[in-house]
Chain A
Amino acid sequence: MIRVLLPAHLRTLAQVQGEVTVQARAPATLAGVLDALESRYPMLRGTIRDGLTQARRPLIRIFACERDLSHDSMQQPLPQEVVDGREPLLIVGAIAGG
């Protein structure tokens, strides 16, 4: 299971607390995790990636294993530590203030 930590506003929207876990088809990719996440929590559709283009929203960042995966291809395999659940995938709102 892949552990995902959502930003606080999206945890409220999805009515979850703490981390959520999803099962993504192997090889696990960011696109696969987001597919699984949006399937389980449909209210998150369009909030992390654009509903039409599927591109990451500009002020969303993706971190894992102390690395910034935001600009990697969504089809790239995720780090093994994320795949086997040792590390969470962090979905983060960019530092944008307001």
Chain B
Amino acid sequence: MKGIRLLIGTRKGAFVLTSDASRERWDVSGPHFAGWEIYHLKGSPADPDRLYASQSSGWFGQTMQRSDDGGRSWETVNNEFVYEGTPGTHQWYDGTPHPWEFKRVWHLEPSPEDPGVVYAGVEDAALFRTGDGGRTWKELPGLREVKGNLWQPGAGGMCLHTIVLDPARPGRMYVAISAGGAFRSDDGGSTWRPINRGLHSLYQLPDPDAEVGHCVHRLAMHPSRPDVLFMQKHWDVMRSDDGGDSWREVSGNLPSDFGFVIDVHAHEPDTVYVVPIKSDSEHYPPEGKLRVYRSRSGGGEWEALTQGLPQRDCYVNVLRDAMAVDRFDPCGVYFGTTGGQVYGSADAGDSWTAIVRDLPAVLSVEVQMLP
């Protein structure tokens, strides 16, 4: 790999940061789609020139974009996301039934093999798939059949924000929903089961150990060990060693186990990163100190990574899709903040620099390795 591209989605457009393998100097381009919310953009692992972007606006709704030349030009593709059948209702904030309504695309997960296949996680929570590069989108409705009537929105809306494809087992995939929980399919998305055993959501759900309804913020997996999953839940950092069949808490010595992002080192499956946030009502780092926490033991014991990060008066948030790792050695780690900074570490988190400081609020960060 000769270079790297960071794809940054923000509240007011997309930015592309490009560097060579040294990751010392970055070229910044953007804003692309200026003024629009770019919840997520991601490149196809099968074709680095193929990018997909979710472009949305409170005024103009959802638009989908596709590039076939690495982001130099874009083509508008289909923006119709129609739920299969009669969508029914989910729970509203006050516990009353509320009709399912499409609002936006939160996350795009291109297939590792076929640049024309992409999964889209949307709000109100559902999973869609295109097999023709975005010209048509079709829901995988089996997911909503898993007690979707009991799911409810979190503060950011009822969103399907995480899609993880198992690289070892064709057909196995995971999704996470706020606030529905985590779910697994073993048949390419046709049928699903909730995988929330071991999650405990006291003061969030009437039954803290409910089968569905948990506010899962993010899942992460190392491709070499796909049965091991890490989860940042609303509160609690969790780990599963059996593909989500059961979970145990690995928050350990974190200063707060609330947070949004979680990710795994590219070459060390037991090295995990989180960014603790003070609480669900105070969305900023504890004590005003922006710290990434790293565990080298698969959770449980965590060390604060502070070099290069603000250690006073810092009150930004790091949203759930805003952390990513590269595959260079040493592994690079990147995250974006609601204050518009994108921080990068080229030494697995030991030290950090702000690649850019003054973007609009960052919604998502993705890494694309360039051949």
State whether the Cβ of B62 lies closer than 8 Å to any Cβ in chain A: yes
State whether the Cβ of A71 lies closer than 8 Å to any Cβ in chain B: no
State whether the Cβ of A26 lies closer than 8 Å to any Cβ in chain B: no
Among residues 285 to 334 in chain B, which have CB atoms less than 8 Å away from a CB atom of chain A?
Answer: none
Q: From B41-49, B52-60, B154-162, B341-349, give the one contacting chain A.
A: B52-60
State whether the Cβ of A60 lies closer than 8 Å to any Cβ in chain B: yes
B61 surroundings in chain A (CB, below 8 A): 46-47, 50, 57
- Docked Cα-Cα span, A22 to B248, in Å, equals 61
Interface string of B51-95 (1 = CB under 8 A from A): 000000111111100000000000010011010000000000000
- Docked Cα-Cα span, A12 to B82, in Å, equals 26
Could you tell me if A52 and B35 are in contact, using CB atoms closer than 8 angstroms? no
| Chain A residue nearest in CB terms to B11 | A98
Could you tell me if B60 and A10 are in contact, using CB atoms closer than 8 angstroms? yes
B58 surroundings in chain A (CB, below 8 A): 59, 96, 98
| Chain B residue nearest in CB terms to A9 | B35
Among residues 6 to 30 in chain A, which have CB atoms less than 8 Å away from a CB atom of chain B?
Answer: 7, 9-10, 12-13
B15 surroundings in chain A (CB, below 8 A): none
A10 surroundings in chain B (CB, below 8 A): 60
Could you tell me if B79 and A51 are in contact, using CB atoms closer than 8 angstroms? yes
State whether the Cβ of B36 lies closer than 8 Å to any Cβ in chain A: yes
Could you tell me if A9 and B36 are in contact, using CB atoms closer than 8 angstroms? yes
Interface string of A45-61 (1 = CB under 8 A from B): 11110111000010110
Could you tell me if B80 and A51 are in contact, using CB atoms closer than 8 angstroms? yes
Could you tell me if A43 and B63 are in contact, using CB atoms closer than 8 angstroms? yes
- Docked Cα-Cα span, A93 to B59, in Å, equals 6
- Docked Cα-Cα span, A96 to B35, in Å, equals 13
Could you tell me if A13 and B76 are in contact, using CB atoms closer than 8 angstroms? yes
- Docked Cα-Cα span, A23 to B36, in Å, equals 30
**A46, A60, A93: the one within 8 Å of B80 (CB):** A46
- Docked Cα-Cα span, A45 to B36, in Å, equals 16
Interface residues of A (CB under 8 A from B): 7, 9-10, 12-13, 42-43, 45-48, 50-52, 57, 59-60, 93-94, 96, 98
* Pairs across A and B, CB under 8 Å, 24 listed: A7-B59, A7-B60, A9-B35, A9-B36, A9-B57, A9-B60, A12-B34, A13-B60, A13-B63, A13-B76, A43-B63, A43-B76, A45-B79, A46-B62, A46-B80, A47-B60, A50-B61, A52-B82, A59-B58, A59-B59, A60-B59, A60-B60, A93-B60, A96-B58
